[in-house]
Structure 1
Amino acid sequence: MRIHGFSGLVHLPGDEAYDSGRRGWNLAADPRPAVVAEAASAADVRAAVLAAREHGLP
């Protein structure tokens, strides 16, 4: 998956880095997001949020 204007790494379910990227600090939670986006800058955060909104992701 490509996100316009996003320079960081993007991981989808099934990708090797997806499981390590989806885990947060709270190990009691087991989130399964549609995508894990590793933002490298504030511009990446903006691009990821805009892409999520465009695709109807929470």
Structure 2
Amino acid sequence: MQFIPFAEQTGFIREITRWMLSHGVREMARWSELGQPLRLSINLSTRDLLDVDLVD
């Protein structure tokens, strides 16, 4: 209950989001290669949505 609010307040949430997206996409590719094309959902914070570099 304290970790995400702390990460958002310190701005570290962007690093966490980048890490989650990178690893999530990599895992999705691996699952697909194994014949398990699953969907992945990752929650984004308001700070993430306001980040102009998010799409990159």
Asked if these proteins are the same fold (TM beyond 0.5), I'd say no
Say which one has the larger Rg.
2
Higher helix share: 2
Higher strand share: 1
So what's the TM-score if we normalise by structure 1?
0.29
